[in-house]
Structure 1
Amino acid sequence: MARFPKPAEGSWTQHYPELGTGPVSYEDSIDPQFYEVERKAVFRRAWLNVGRVEQLPRKGSYFTKELKVVNTSIIVVRTTSGDVKAYHNICRHRGNKLVWNDMPLEETSGVCRQFTCKYHAWRYDLDGNLTFVQQEGEFFDLDKSRYGLVPVHCDVWEGFIFVNFAPEPEQTLRDFLGPMITDLEGYPFDSMTSRFHYRSEVKANWKLYMDAFQEFYHAPVLHANQSPTAYSKAAAEAGFEAPHYRIEGPHRLVSTSGVRAWEMAAEMRKPIEDICQSGLFGPWDKPDLGQMPPGLNPAKCDPWGLDSFQLFPNFVVLFWGQGWYLTYHYWPTSFNTHIFEGTVYFPQPRTPRERIAQELAAVSFKEYGLQDANTLEATQSMIESRVLDDFLLCDQEVLIRHLHKETAAWVEDYQRKTAGV
């Protein structure tokens, strides 16, 4: 569904007539039965990002990921050959969780030569093979070669690790991503190793929180207190309009122009921003990252603010024109709760001041995320009342239409394929 940029007159939504322009329903975000089908139709069929290769710096490095939406825990590991593989985190003996520390439901990471079950000491090598059974002679006709760890389909794109829980994925990872995403190849992800991570349990449907970052129409209002009063007032009065939206397959993009914070009048900036030479848009000193890939800044904004790529179903990669990026993940835990994860990536700081500049940007985004989460919990509580079922969307909310329509399409496709099974 790729389209040309918006003309001087017209609307983004009219570029995508299949999405319609009428009010929308949020029944898909409040219906427990829809959620149960969505888990199978979407999260057991789509490619899901679970981390980056920097989390597996050497052979034997591993981390676990708790994925309640598909009722499992997985181990992601770098094998002795250097490959990245994933397995269900379950021992083949009595079904105990294989890798965990003090709290079985908490994620963990580390380095090992093999995985040993805490219950009866069965051992598995990094390729998932069963290598040792305690008192093996006590078992009946045991063929260890048949009892390795249960694999999960796993692939890596530009250092991002994806898994797929279908018996056989319907598309390769690269085909699933499509040209809009693969045109980002060449971005220096591997040099962005200064990492800040935050995580929150949110009492709202995962799609509603994704919607919060699919438009910036709300920013001058919801985030007004994050900016000096004079700037916030002017921004609210002027409103906001992003210069570029794009939909391709199940994925979406919104781009914005930017501001050069250091060129703003002093009364428009916070004192801490002058001290740290950093702020909402990141550190003022832009690193030299070389030639950028063709997929970035499609609107050719100058100054360029950001590109937010929404990868279906629940992963966002947001590139900032100041030379850094962040990711968002939305992991459903029920029809009206999910885990939100935000991770900010910068080049390694060269000085203490650069480190502080990065921390200020990371903390600024954490505050924005908390404001959005708080608002979405209020939204969830009221749409569950079902006082209203039709909600109006403006032209800048075209990506919201697409996410909900795409999710419904995956559900309908799944129901059609499994009818009578």
Structure 2
Amino acid sequence: MSRLPKPPEGSWTEHYPELGTAPVSYEDSISPEFYELEREAIFRRAWLNVGRVEQLPRKGSYFTKEVRVARTSVVVVRDGGGGVRAFFNVCRHRGNKLVWDEFPGEETSGFCRQFTCKYHGWRYGLDGALNFVQQEGEFFDLDKEDFGLVPVHCEVWAGFIFVNLAREPEQSLHDFLGPMVTALDGYPFDKMTERFYYRAEVGANWKLYMDAFQEFYHAPVLHAKQTPAKFSTAAQQSGFEAPHYQLDGPHRLVSTSGIVAWELASDMRKPMEDITRSGLFGPWDGPELGEMPPGLNPAGCDPWGLDSFQLWPNFVILIWSGGWYLTYQYWPTSYNTHTFEGNLYFVPARNARERVAHEMAAVTFKEYGLQDGNTLEATQMSLESRAVTHFPLNDQEILCRHLHKVAADWVEDYKKNHTEV
């Protein structure tokens, strides 16, 4: 794999002059008015990842996704022909939520041959067609063909299921993702079906948490207590700078060099890492996955560590050199709260040792996520004081600068196109 020459110091941001280098305002993260604009300008226009095809293993499999920022719920289903469809989760009779269990605000999943409304028993096929109406003769000129479920635009890329809530998407999913993301075509996502999932309600704006995982400048300081003292000291002394940052439309990428965990001195590893042969960098004994797609490790690092693809608006795919990957999602619930979801994916364990190694990696990442979340709630509180309104970002924080600019650009574009004449 060819190496990319590292640009001169401080030049990453300068490669994208439209970003500028001035201090950045975080008003977009503390303004209720800006959040209300984001609902329509961003989350009803962009393609949103809602899951993976493995969640729909057979015909009739379904799951729901609550997209509270867009004030809607979506049901995603494997139809009778084996395709993936999505519908607004609304019965066409009186507007009751169609698919839910005991609590209508909670997500659910399962298998069915048709969807039946809990309120009056209207039934819909897996293709969304209205199949049955209780006491149909009581209605006035009712044509069932006119009252099927309302479809949501749904497309699949590399096994990831995306929906677009707009009446007509501005781009196809492939065009929206662009060449930097679709250069991952061929990565064996489909082989990594062992999943660990966690979620948290975070008292901070969704963009602030995205910022936390798109720069590593904080890692040697914030996460120092997660590693042995000798390793933490060495990390803080050396600092961190990734060898490659890249922007493509609204999406971002940071690629890093790696550490061979088992080659570290024993006093720079935790005893539990030696026992489980796993930790922050994932299982030490990764699977053989064959040739990787051209979109990975663009800097040609040896050893390579990870690539973090930040897909606009709220989805992250983080691929590790050890043969596993994770995803992050940030679902806004208000201007200063959001739901964070994390998924870790592995090739299914073949024995108890491999399973324990996977669990060790999952627990480690959860602890790091808790540290980030705790800090971000403190950030939110301080920003809302407005005692300081602009903040300097260094060259390693180029992705943070880009995220906030894209949010502002989408909101401005929406306002321009929806101004009453």
TM-score, scaled to structure 1? 0.98
* 1:20-419 alignment runs, 5 A limit: 20-419=20-419
In 2: Cα distance, 1:345 partner to 1:61 partner: 20
CA contact (8 A) 1:91 1:98 kept: yes
In 1: Cα distance, 2:99 partner to 2:165 partner: 19
CA contact (8 A) 2:287 2:323 kept: yes
- Which AA in structure 2 matches 1:126? L
CA contact (8 A) 1:96 1:119 kept: yes
Query: What is the DSSP-based 3-state SS (H/G/I as helix, E as strand, rest coil) of the residue aligned with 1:196?
Result: strand
In 2: Cα distance, 1:415 partner to 1:188 partner: 41
In 2: Cα distance, 1:264 partner to 1:305 partner: 15
In 2: Cα distance, 1:302 partner to 1:368 partner: 25
CA contact (8 A) 1:52 1:161 kept: yes
Query: What is the DSSP-based 3-state SS (H/G/I as helix, E as strand, rest coil) of the residue aligned with 1:317?
Result: strand
In 1: Cα distance, 2:34 partner to 2:138 partner: 47
In 2: Cα distance, 1:390 partner to 1:266 partner: 43
Query: What is the DSSP-based 3-state SS (H/G/I as helix, E as strand, rest coil) of the residue aligned with 1:140?
Result: coil
In 1: Cα distance, 2:77 partner to 2:401 partner: 37
- Which AA in structure 2 matches 1:222? L
Q: CA deviation at 1:5?
A: 5.9
In 2: Cα distance, 1:10 partner to 1:120 partner: 64
- Which AA in structure 2 matches 1:135? Q
CA contact (8 A) 1:78 1:85 kept: yes
CA contact (8 A) 1:6 1:12 kept: no
In 1: Cα distance, 2:59 partner to 2:395 partner: 49
List gaps (5 residues or longer) in structure 2: none
CA contact (8 A) 1:30 1:335 kept: yes
- Which AA in structure 1 matches 2:200? S
In 2: Cα distance, 1:180 partner to 1:361 partner: 27
1:373-400: CA deviation from partner (whole Å, max 9, x where unpaired): 1110000011000001011111100111
Q: CA deviation at 1:286?
A: 1.9
Query: What is the DSSP-based 3-state SS (H/G/I as helix, E as strand, rest coil) of the residue aligned with 1:51?
Result: strand
In 2: Cα distance, 1:367 partner to 1:147 partner: 48
Query: What is the DSSP-based 3-state SS (H/G/I as helix, E as strand, rest coil) of the residue aligned with 2:171?
Result: coil
Q: CA deviation at 1:10?
A: 4.2
RMSD: 0.9
Q: CA deviation at 1:6?
A: 4.0
In 1: Cα distance, 2:10 partner to 2:147 partner: 60
Q: Which moved more, 1:179-188 or 1:5-14?
A: 5-14
CA contact (8 A) 2:10 2:395 kept: no
In 1: Cα distance, 2:105 partner to 2:5 partner: 46
Q: CA deviation at 1:38?
A: 1.0
- Which AA in structure 2 matches 1:246? Q
Identity of paired residues, percent? 73
Q: CA deviation at 1:8?
A: 3.8
Q: CA deviation at 1:211?
A: 0.3
In 1: Cα distance, 2:319 partner to 2:341 partner: 16
Q: CA deviation at 1:9?
A: 4.0
CA separation of 1:375 and 1:10: change in aligned 2, threshold 3 A: closer
CA contact (8 A) 1:5 1:244 kept: no
- Which AA in structure 2 matches 1:414? Y
CA separation of 1:47 and 1:13: change in aligned 2, threshold 3 A: same
CA separation of 1:222 and 1:189: change in aligned 2, threshold 3 A: same
CA separation of 1:22 and 1:126: change in aligned 2, threshold 3 A: same
Query: What is the DSSP-based 3-state SS (H/G/I as helix, E as strand, rest coil) of the residue aligned with 1:99?
Result: coil
In 2: Cα distance, 1:90 partner to 1:38 partner: 23
Query: What is the DSSP-based 3-state SS (H/G/I as helix, E as strand, rest coil) of the residue aligned with 2:349?
Result: coil
